[in-house]
């Protein structure tokens, strides 16, 4: 039956194992569930990353953040700098799965899965995150925008490991991530949206808007961003951004929602995400997670 | 390939020989005979299999047993001290938090993790902290009351 | 308030459950045990052309495989014997069993089950309810006419059972009405979803089999095994370890015969443990899909003058208790209202989908959801407040029910007033929020039941009963009743239960009947012991027997502080001679007399014994852009005769409300066009989490029933989920302006209703 397992404490050993064809496992939440449900077979050989200290943790760098790949969603959601300056990431990380999933599931694992419904991907995309991947041959940086190839597919090679995500500071921005939630907890994104805005006085001078679970990958919607820039970010402008994003979305019909409903909800969550981001940019308090705070907002 | 590892469960060492694909839950319930942790689903949705690993709640149905080697694992069987129930266990009995009991072990584990991280939780924090554990019997009313009561009990004991 | 015998009862099984030491069926292992797996149809309708187990048998570690060819050909079913324990020739729904495998490990068993070669010739499947009723629809059972059936069943082709409730002159009533309102509701099926997926372990010794099973009805499982495998009931022992919830899904015969037959063939014990997916797909107990057409004529003053209704109810591929439930649905379509003229029909229709069967208050919540929305529509048309409309029409003591039964003392109206007051009916609320209300009723089920009570030599008590504890605490509360009769404390008793070889017959955790019937049996058994104790005490104290009382663990001369003897001393004496043994069953109370001359399909639900009444009020907030509904508060008022164990009774209401919210908003079976379930897993079949369930205000109205259970109590486990969906539905329309006529009222459905309605109601 085979099946080799290694659980190194040094990154170099993990890279060697990866080069030898071991598949990485961090928290194992997706890997094990997928195996049990017969979605895939457990790979022959595994290398566990959970004992590698240098892969875990959040470090404030000059003008930014470096987040280790095995940092948990709970750690992301609780980090003071993320909550204050990269708030949309905290919005997203604090609503991933259950409390247990948030403790065990890692940022790197989530990125490697490349789910179009991954909560943190939209915020990371809007914050211009860079992903550092490493192999025994060296390391390279991939802009998050270039990481996802399609549902479940990334541009990370099989001999590479995601080791960190780097964020640079965007001055004076407000951000939020909003997800459509059928229940108050234990949800998966059926539709989600991120907005990151910068204001000059009352005017939006920069806007990034991403949609989640509305296309084969999490993606930004330039047309909605352009429309928002130069406006006051008020209700009409937010609604227009939502309308444009919904038009640009390519949703599917499945067991969770119809295409038509998803598209209509795209407009709503984008509008709310913009509203939340604008409010935060103005220094107003929208408690984390924004999805719950903005429930019912017209 | 089989690996001989030691699992530390409820302060007891268990040497076991495991293949890579084994989940922690299957080893706890199988080789170790600790059937208190339950299997209610297979996708981390119900929480009946919840255990603590190094103090953090984990769905043991979705966790590789080999990854738990060398870590401190706590199951529901490890909550009481001898015949003396943990304040959470006692509170569950007194507040009608137990009906069929199938969610109870996982619920107690999540509650333990919650109170360790947040000894004086608000009602909303209790509800968020237990949201990965489904109960079909109680409407959760007795469970929330029990956690609140145990928190007070534990605070007084300190 | 309410008669309270035990302010807080600590459950006997509680310590087992909080320490993890309590064993459930899946936790058990016996020497030599193999693991079983089923092979199921995976298609909705097909003829089995060929079944070849050769490759599966060749897999190392496989010890036995059985199919229909290996078991007696016995058709069974509660009212309609239309099914066999394995498919013969034809499969009629995706979860139908074709074969069972016993192997060394669960993995090998599953692998072998997959290796069984099944050549299926697809047959036209009928999955749509209305299509199934058409004369040209393909028949789910081509040979339906040959099946043995209850003589009262009215059936024809895909119509498995029709029940009607006819009273007065509905046509005349409608003609006389000031206005007539007619509308239509459609409900998806839903699931019970006990957190414990079922497990069955069977072990043969000689000619008798012991089956440890997660069943709510051990005696029905026993008789079912005996019937299908052709053996006497006393060679079948069914033991239920702790049961991890049932909610009806573990009623009737489960999978005990198949596992027993497999173990017999293997010559080894076999255990089958269901995955969550199997727990969704394989049981023959899914809450029924329904289409409800309701019509009501009212006078100008708001009193109802006539009701017509036609219900189409999904039977699924096979009938267990669904024909009976169809008749209950017909009763619920009338509701607890004074209606002089009634014409209701309920058609239970075969489809190639999972069989329907009892799930907590079967047909109750769905019918109440439709009817109570319909009543709000009527009230709206009349310009009447919904509470006032119900006030003018709810039944009172002395009124007659749908089939002419005369109501005794009841508290229907009080539950309405109490729920309305508790929720603050009429108070101003923020935009997007509103309150809705719904009232309903539910019968008790008198039936045979037995128990034995003994006092041991040290004065401790033992109750041995055939009753089943599914989690509700009904069995756990039995000591309250025995203790009261014997002047002891409840915690001085231990209970041995849910073992068919240990305790006398009981109907099981079904129909909310445990305290009603087994409570009566325990009181009768304890009363026998009481007589024995009094005899002993009279001798010992040289007192007149009539002057004695049992109190505080003593037998004493009434009023005397000195002339007494402890029960422990009496028990110690008895241990050397005539033992303290009591057995009891008691006479089930009579069911009310009814007039059913014009009704057909009478299967026993035409008379509602000791009915319970209840009203829920729901305060909701609707996110009008998304259709997401949040329930903020529920007030639940129940008249359940009397309550003897408050912690247990309120626990039932809390749990029922949570289940009702789930059925209202998030729980529904999504069917593909070919009749397969698309969401047999918890991520997309969404139960309410602890974060979703709001504060629940519970109120009990006392109205002890002369024909109820002990002290006049009525069944309480099922009713609490009945009115919740209707109350939420009526709140949604008041909050958002649109009525949602599909169940569950998912965000997308609410959103569509909001998008499509302009001013309608």
C218-229 and C256-266 helices cross at what angle (nearest 10)?
Answer: 50
Please report the pLDDT score of residue A1 as a whole number: 41
A159 and A56 housed in the same domain: yes
Residues 160-199 of A with CB under 8 A from C: 180-186, 188
> Within an 8 Å CB–CB cutoff, is residue B56 touching chain A?
yes
User: Å from B94 to nearest chain C CA?
Assistant: 6
Angle at C376 between CA C374 and CA C377, to 5 degrees: 65
Q: What is the CATH number of the domain that holds A1?
A: 3.30.43
| Residues of chain B with C-beta less than 8 angstroms from the C-beta of A101 | 44, 59, 132
Cβ-defined contact of C27 to B92 (cutoff 8 Å): no
Domain chopping of chain C, boundaries: 14-123+195-245+251-281, 360-445+606-756, 451-584
Count of all residues that appear for chain A in the document:
298
Select the residue of C275, C470, C654 nearest B138 (Cβ to Cβ).
Answer: C654
- Given a cut of 70, is residue C5 above it in pLDDT? no
Please report the pLDDT score of residue C560 as a whole number: 86
Domain presence at residue A26: yes
Please report the pLDDT score of residue A44 as a whole number: 79
- pLDDT, one tens digit per residue, over B22-77 is 999 999 999 999 999 999 998 899 999 999 999 999 999 999 999 999 999 999 99
- pLDDT, one tens digit per residue, over C656-695 is 999 999 999 999 999 998 889 999 999 999 999 999 999 9
Contact C750, C627 (CB under 8 A): yes
| Residues of chain A with C-beta less than 8 angstroms from the C-beta of B62 | 28-29, 32-33, 36
Which chain C residue's Cα is nearest to A264? C626
A119 and A214 housed in the same domain: no
Cβ-defined contact of B47 to A3 (cutoff 8 Å): no
Please name the fold of domain C360-445+606-756: Aldehyde Oxidoreductase; domain 4 (3.30.365)
Cβ-defined contact of B77 to C195 (cutoff 8 Å): no
Select the residue of B100, B105, B131 nearest C691 (Cβ to Cβ).
Answer: B131
Contact C262, C209 (CB under 8 A): no
Residues of the domain holding A5: 1-51
Please report the pLDDT score of residue C351 as a whole number: 98
A186 and A275 housed in the same domain: yes
- Given a cut of 70, is residue A67 above it in pLDDT? yes
| Residues of chain A with C-beta less than 8 angstroms from the C-beta of C752 | 261
| Residues of chain B with C-beta less than 8 angstroms from the C-beta of A37 | 42-43
A14 and A60 housed in the same domain: no
Going by the DSSP 8-state scheme, the letter that residue A113 receives in this structure is H
> Within an 8 Å CB–CB cutoff, is residue B135 touching chain C?
yes
Cα–Cα distance, A253 to B94 (Å, whole number): 47
| Residues of chain C with C-beta less than 8 angstroms from the C-beta of A182 | 628, 665-666, 686, 746-747
Cα–Cα distance, A36 to C682 (Å, whole number): 15
A36 and A72 housed in the same domain: no
Rounded (to 5) percent helix, strand, coil in chain A? 35, 25, 40
Going by the DSSP 8-state scheme, the letter that residue C328 receives in this structure is H
| Residues of chain A with C-beta less than 8 angstroms from the C-beta of B108 | none
The answer as to CATH 3.30.360.10 being correct for domain B2-78 is no
Q: CA end-to-end span of chain B, whole Å?
A: 48
Please report the pLDDT score of residue C761 as a whole number: 39
Cα–Cα distance, C198 to C459 (Å, whole number): 38
Cβ-defined contact of A180 to C628 (cutoff 8 Å): yes
Using alpha carbons, select from A228, A235, A191, A232 the residue that is nearest to residue A208. A228
| H helix intervals, C446-513 | 478-486
- Given a cut of 50, is residue C760 above it in pLDDT? no
Residue C575 — pLDDT band, cuts 50, 70, 90?
Answer: confident
Pick from C568-577, C721-730, C737-746: least confident: C568-577
Select the residue of B42, B76, B136 nearest C687 (Cβ to Cβ).
Answer: B136
Cβ-defined contact of B99 to C10 (cutoff 8 Å): no
| Residues of chain A with C-beta less than 8 angstroms from the C-beta of B103 | none
Q: Across-strand partners of B23?
A: B64
Which chain C residue's Cα is nearest to A183? C692
- A 10 A CB-CB count for C756 gives 9
Choose the final residue of a domain: A134, A168, A202: A168
Q: How confident is the model over C344-363, as a mean pLDDT?
A: 97
> Within an 8 Å CB–CB cutoff, is residue C432 touching chain A?
yes
Q: Across-strand partners of A176?
A: A195
Q: What number of H helices and E strands is found in chain A? A: 12, 14
C304-316 vs C341-350, strand pairing mode: parallel
Q: What is the mean pLDDT of chain B?
A: 96
User: Å from C761 to nearest chain B CA?
Assistant: 32
Phi, psi of C471 (to 5 degrees): 125, -25
A61-to-A64, A81, A169, C31 alpha-carbon distances in Å? 5, 11, 10, 61
Q: How confident is the model over A46-64, as a mean pLDDT?
A: 94
Cα–Cα distance, B55 to C741 (Å, whole number): 47
User: Å from C686 to nearest chain A CA?
Assistant: 8
A89 and A47 housed in the same domain: no
Q: How confident is the model over C150-159, as a mean pLDDT?
A: 96
Cα–Cα distance, A158 to A43 (Å, whole number): 13
A177 and A284 housed in the same domain: yes
Buried/exposed code over A99-122 (b: 16+ C-beta within 10 A; e: otherwise): bbbbbbbbbbbbbbbbbbbbbbbb
- Given a cut of 50, is residue A295 above it in pLDDT? yes
The reported pTM is 0.97
Q: What is the CATH number of the domain that holds A84?
A: 3.30.465.10
Domain presence at residue A207: yes
- pLDDT, one tens digit per residue, over C282-338 is 999 999 999 999 999 999 999 999 999 999 999 999 998 999 999 999 999 999 999
Contact B151, B120 (CB under 8 A): yes
Contact C660, B107 (CB under 8 A): no
Q: What is the mean pLDDT of chain C?
A: 96
Cβ-defined contact of B99 to C472 (cutoff 8 Å): yes
Using alpha carbons, select from C42, C49, C141, C48 the residue that is nearest to residue C95. C42
Enclosing H/E stretch for C271: strand C270-273
Could you tell me which CATH number the domain at C451-584 has?
3.30.365.10
Contact C495, C242 (CB under 8 A): no
- pLDDT, one tens digit per residue, over B69-103 is 999 999 999 999 999 999 999 999 999 999 999 99
Residues 74-133 of B with CB under 8 A from C: 75-77, 79-80, 85, 89, 92-94, 96, 98-105, 108, 126-128, 130-131, 133
Cβ-defined contact of C624 to A188 (cutoff 8 Å): no
Q: How confident is the model over C609-629, as a mean pLDDT?
A: 98
B50-53 vs B72-74, strand pairing mode: antiparallel
- pLDDT, one tens digit per residue, over C208-237 is 999 999 999 999 999 999 999 999 999 999
A152 and A138 housed in the same domain: yes
Q: What is the mean pLDDT of chain A?
A: 94
Please report the pLDDT score of residue C7 as a whole number: 55
A259-281 and A235-248 helices cross at what angle (nearest 10)?
Answer: 140
- Given a cut of 70, is residue C759 above it in pLDDT? no
Using alpha carbons, select from C225, C79, C259, C219 the residue that is nearest to residue C517. C219
Cβ-defined contact of B127 to C24 (cutoff 8 Å): no
Domain C360-445+606-756 shares a fold with domain C451-584: yes
- Given a cut of 60, is residue C573 above it in pLDDT? yes
A194 and A255 housed in the same domain: yes
- Given a cut of 70, is residue C13 above it in pLDDT? yes
Select the residue of C621, C628, C678 nearest A182 (Cβ to Cβ).
Answer: C628
- pLDDT, one tens digit per residue, over A115-138 is 999 999 999 999 999 999 999 999
Please report the pLDDT score of residue A205 as a whole number: 97
Strands (E), C490-560: 493-496, 548-551, 554-557
- A 10 A CB-CB count for C631 gives 25
Q: What is the CATH architecture of B87-157? A: Orthogonal Bundle (1.10)
Residue pairs between chains A and B whose CB atoms are closer than 8 Å: 95
Q: Where in chain B is the domain with CATH 3.10.20.30?
A: 2-78
Neighbours of chain C (3+ CB pairs under 8 A): A, B
Cα–Cα distance, A285 to C475 (Å, whole number): 52
| H helix intervals, C267-363 | 276-281, 322-334
Residue C3 — pLDDT band, cuts 50, 70, 90?
Answer: very low
Which chain A residue's Cα is nearest to C624? A296
Cα–Cα distance, A238 to A267 (Å, whole number): 9
A119 and A159 housed in the same domain: yes
Domain presence at residue A268: yes
Class of domain C14-123+195-245+251-281: alpha beta
Cβ-defined contact of C690 to B143 (cutoff 8 Å): yes
- pLDDT, one tens digit per residue, over A196-220 is 999 999 999 999 999 999 999 999 9
Enclosing H/E stretch for C612: strand C609-623
The number of distinct structural domains making up chain A is 3
Cα–Cα distance, B48 to C241 (Å, whole number): 18
């Amino acid at each position: 039956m085979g099946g080799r397992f290694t659980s190194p404490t040094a990154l170099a050993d993990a890279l060697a194992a990866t080069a030898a064809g071991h598949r990485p496992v961090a928290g194992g939440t997706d890997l094990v569930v997928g195996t049990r449900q017969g979605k895939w077979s457990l790979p022959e050989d595994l290398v566990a990353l959970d004992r590698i200290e240098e892969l875990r943790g959040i470090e404030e760098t000059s003008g930014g953040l470096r987040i280790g790949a095995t940092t948990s969603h709970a750690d992301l959601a609780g980090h003071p700098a993320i909550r204050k300056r990269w708030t949309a990431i905290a919005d997203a990380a604090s609503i991933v799965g259950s409390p247990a999933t948030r403790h065990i599931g890692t940022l790197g694992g989530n990125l490697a899965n490349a789910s179009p419904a991954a909560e943190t991907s939209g915020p990371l995309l809007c914050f211009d995150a860079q992903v550092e991947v490493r192999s025994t041959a060296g390391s390279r940086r991939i802009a998050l925008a270039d990481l996802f190839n399609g549902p479940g597919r990334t541009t990370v090679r099989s001999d590479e490991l995601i080791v960190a995500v780097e964020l640079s500071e965007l001055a004076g921005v407000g951000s939020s991530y909003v997800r459509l939630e059928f229940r108050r907890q234990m949800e998966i994104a059926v539709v989600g949206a991120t907005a990151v805005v910068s204001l000059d006085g009352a005017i939006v001078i920069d806007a990034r808007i991403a949609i989640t679970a509305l296309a084969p990958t999490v993606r930004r919607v330039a047309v909605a961003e352009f429309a928002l820039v130069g406006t006051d970010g008020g209700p009409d402008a937010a609604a227009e951004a939502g309308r444009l994003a919904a038009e640009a979305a390519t949703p599917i019909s499945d067991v969770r929602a119809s295409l038509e409903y998803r598209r209509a909800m795209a407009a709503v969550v984008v509008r709310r995400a913009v509203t939340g981001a604008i409010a935060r940019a103005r220094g107003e308090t929208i408690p984390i997670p924004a999805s719950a705070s903005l429930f019912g907002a017209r | 390939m089989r690996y001989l590892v030691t699992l530390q469960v409820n302060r007891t060492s268990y040497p076991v020989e495991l293949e890579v694909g084994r989940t922690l839950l299957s080893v706890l319930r199988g080789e170790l005979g600790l059937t208190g942790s339950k299997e209610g689903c297979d996708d981390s949705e119900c929480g009946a299999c919840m255990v603590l690993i190094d103090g953090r709640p984990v769905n043991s149905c979705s966790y590789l047993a080999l990854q738990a080697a060398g870590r401190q694992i706590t199951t529901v069987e490890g909550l009481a001290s001898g015949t003396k129930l943990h304040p959470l266990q006692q509170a569950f009995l007194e507040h009608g938090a137990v009906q069929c009991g199938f969610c109870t072990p996982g619920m107690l584990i999540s509650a333990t993790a919650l109170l360790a991280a947040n000894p004086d939780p608000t009602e909303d924090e209790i509800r968020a902290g237990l949201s990965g554990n489904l109960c079909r019997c109680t409407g959760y009313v007795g469970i929330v009351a029990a956690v609140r009561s145990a928190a007070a009990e534990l605070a007084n004991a300190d | 308030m309410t008669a309270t015998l035990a302010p807080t009862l600590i459950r006997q099984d509680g310590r087992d459950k909080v320490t993890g030491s309590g064993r459930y069926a899946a936790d058990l292992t016996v020497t030599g045990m193999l693991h079983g797996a089923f092979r199921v149809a995976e298609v909705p309708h097909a003829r089995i052309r060929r079944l070849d187990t050769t490759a599966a048998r060749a897999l190392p570690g496989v010890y036995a495989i059985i199919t229909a060819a290996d078991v007696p050909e016995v058709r069974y079913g509660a009212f309609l014997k239309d099914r066999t324990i394995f498919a013969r020739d034809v499969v009629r729904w995706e979860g139908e069993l074709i074969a069972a495998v016993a192997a060394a490990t669960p993995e090998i068993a599953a692998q072998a089950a997959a290796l069984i070669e099944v050549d299926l010739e697809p047959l036209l499947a009928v999955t749509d309810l209305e299509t199934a009723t058409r004369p040209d629809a393909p028949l789910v059972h081509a040979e339906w006419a040959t099946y043995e059936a209850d003589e009262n069943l009215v059936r024809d082709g895909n119509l498995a059972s029709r029940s009607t409730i006819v009273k007065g002159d509905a046509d005349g009533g409608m003609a006389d009405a000031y206005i007539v309102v007619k509308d239509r509701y459609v409900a998806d099926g839903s699931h019970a979803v006990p957190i414990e997926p079922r497990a069955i372990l069977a072990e043969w010794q000689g000619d008798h089999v012991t089956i440890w099973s997660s069943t709510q009805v051990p005696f029905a499982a026993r008789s079912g095994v005996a019937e299908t495998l052709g053996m006497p009931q006393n060679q079948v022992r069914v033991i239920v370890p702790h049961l991890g919830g049932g909610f009806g899904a573990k009623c009737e015969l489960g999978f005990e015969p198949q596992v027993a037959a497999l173990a017999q063939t293997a010559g080894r014990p076999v255990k089958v443990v269901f995955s969550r997916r199997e727990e969704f797909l394989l049981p023959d107990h899914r809450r029924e899909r329904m289409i409800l057409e309701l019509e009501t004529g009212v006078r100008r003053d708001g009193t109802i003058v006539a009701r017509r209704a036609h219900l189409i109810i999904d039977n699924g591929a096979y009938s267990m208790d669904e024909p009976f439930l169809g008749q209950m649905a017909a009763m619920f379509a009338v509701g607890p209202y004074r209606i002089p003229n009634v014409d209701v029909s309920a058609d239970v229709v075969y489809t190639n989908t999972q069989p329907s069967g009892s799930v907590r208050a079967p047909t109750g919540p769905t019918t109440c959801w439709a009817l109570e929305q319909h009543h709000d529509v009527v009230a709206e048309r009349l310009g009447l407040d919904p509470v006032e409309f119900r006030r003018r029409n709810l039944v009172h003591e002395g009124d007659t029910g749908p089939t002419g039964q005369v109501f005794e003392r009841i508290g229907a109206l009080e539950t309405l007033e109490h729920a309305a007051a508790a929720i603050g009916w009429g108070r101003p609320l923020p935009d997007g929020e509103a309150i809705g209300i719904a009232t309903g009723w539910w019968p008790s089920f008198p039936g045979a039941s037995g128990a034995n009570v003994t006092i041991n030599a040290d004065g401790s008590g033992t109750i041995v009963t055939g009753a089943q504890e599914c989690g509700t605490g009904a069995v756990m509360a039995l000591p309250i009743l025995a203790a009261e009769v014997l002047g002891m404390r409840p915690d001085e008793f231990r209970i041995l239960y849910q073992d068919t070889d240990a305790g006398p017959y009981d109907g099981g955790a079904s129909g909310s009947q445990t305290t009603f019937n087994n409570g009566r049996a325990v009181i009768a058994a304890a009363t026998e012991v009481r007589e024995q104790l009094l005899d002993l005490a009279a001798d010992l104290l040289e007192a007149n027997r009539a002057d004695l009382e049992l109190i505080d663990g003593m037998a004493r001369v009434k009023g005397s502080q000195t002339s007494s003897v402890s029960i422990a001393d009496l028990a110690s004496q008895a241990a050397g001679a005539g033992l303290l043994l009591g057995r009891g069953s008691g006479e089930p109370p009579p069911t009310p007399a009814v007039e059913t001359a014009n009704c057909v399909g009478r299967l026993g639900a035409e008379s509602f014994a000791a009915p319970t009444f209840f009203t829920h009020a729901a305060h909701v907030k609707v996110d009008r852009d998304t259709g997401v509904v949040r329930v903020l508060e529920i007030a639940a008022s129940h008249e359940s005769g009397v309550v003897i164990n408050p912690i247990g009774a309120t626990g039932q209401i809390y749990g029922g409300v949570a289940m009702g919210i789930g059925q209202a908003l998030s729980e529904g079976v999504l069917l593909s066009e070919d009749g397969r379930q698309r969401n047999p897993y918890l991520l997309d079949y969404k139960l309410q989490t602890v974060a979703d369930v709001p504060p629940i205000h519970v109120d009990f109205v006392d109205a002890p029933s002369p024909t109820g259970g002990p002290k006049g109590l009525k069944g309480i486990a099922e009713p609490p989920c009945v009115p919740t969906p209707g109350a939420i539905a009526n709140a949604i329309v008041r909050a958002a302006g649109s009525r949602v006529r599909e169940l569950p009222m998912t965000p997308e459905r609410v959103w569509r209703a909001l998008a499509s309605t302009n001013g309608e109601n």
